[in-house]
Homo-oligomer: A and B are copies of this chain.
Amino acid sequence: MRVPTVLGAKQDAETPAANRSRDAASTRLLLLKAARRRFARHGYSTTTVRDIAADAGVNVALINRYFSSKEGLFEACLRQVGEDLGRPAGSTTTIEHTLEKMLTRVADQPSGDHTMQLLLLLRSSGDDRADQIRLSTLRSFTEGIATSAGWQAGSADDDKLLLRAQIAMATALGVVLLRSSTGLEPLASATAEDLRDPLGEVLATLVAPTGL
């Protein structure tokens, strides 16, 4: 009674290639998803292409077919994250809205997709091009925060505000990393509610315009 898989259908990582019949786009997505999890959780060099392929329920050689190399797959993951995170920049959003979005992302469950995205920004393959993508993603994201806090690129001493936005980003990333990769309690299993107050205070202290 299995219907043929449609393109882009949700596939649980646990039951990978259950019903999938020679659909290139679909296997590409399976690989991307599995790779993002592995890379985010264990880093680039720790994860093997065989691991990723197994998670995706797909033959190893297809990684090279669809992404040229392990490196290419990593870059693709990074680009995807960049697209997902790059959106909310722009001065039209209020600082409250921006911080709220950061809060929900950080407070996501440690194995959730948002967590994986943020973690990936901390992983490096050593390759220059990948590092470039990561850097520009981080830059545009932190500039988005700063902008919504009143920052204008170029204005000399407002570099301080950009610096503060980057420290806010560092806090977010640090919390996510500590939550997911060490079992440090109570942080590791703190709920979104638990985190809201302290994290909110920190972010407000850093970049809320009244706080300056």
A residues adjacent to B (C-beta < 8 A): 42-46, 122, 124, 126, 131, 134-135, 138-139, 142, 159-160, 162-164, 166-167, 169-175, 177-178, 181-184, 186-187, 190, 194-195, 198-199, 201-202, 205-206
Contacts and interface: CB of A to CB of B under 8 A. Distances in A.
A14 B167 CA distance: 32
A186 B162 contact: yes
10 contacts: A42-B126, A46-B126, A134-B182, A138-B178, A139-B184, A166-B184, A167-B195, A167-B198, A167-B199, A169-B174
B126 A181 contact: no
A163 B186 CA distance: 6
A23 to B, nearest CB: 33
A202 B122 contact: no
B171 A202 contact: yes
A124 B181 contact: yes
Which 3 pairs from chain A and chain B are nearest by CB?
Answer: A174-B174, A170-B174, A166-B187
Contacts of A199: 167
B178 A173 contact: yes
B206 A202 contact: yes
A175 B182 contact: no
A6 to B, nearest CB: 37
Contacts of A182: 131, 134-135, 138
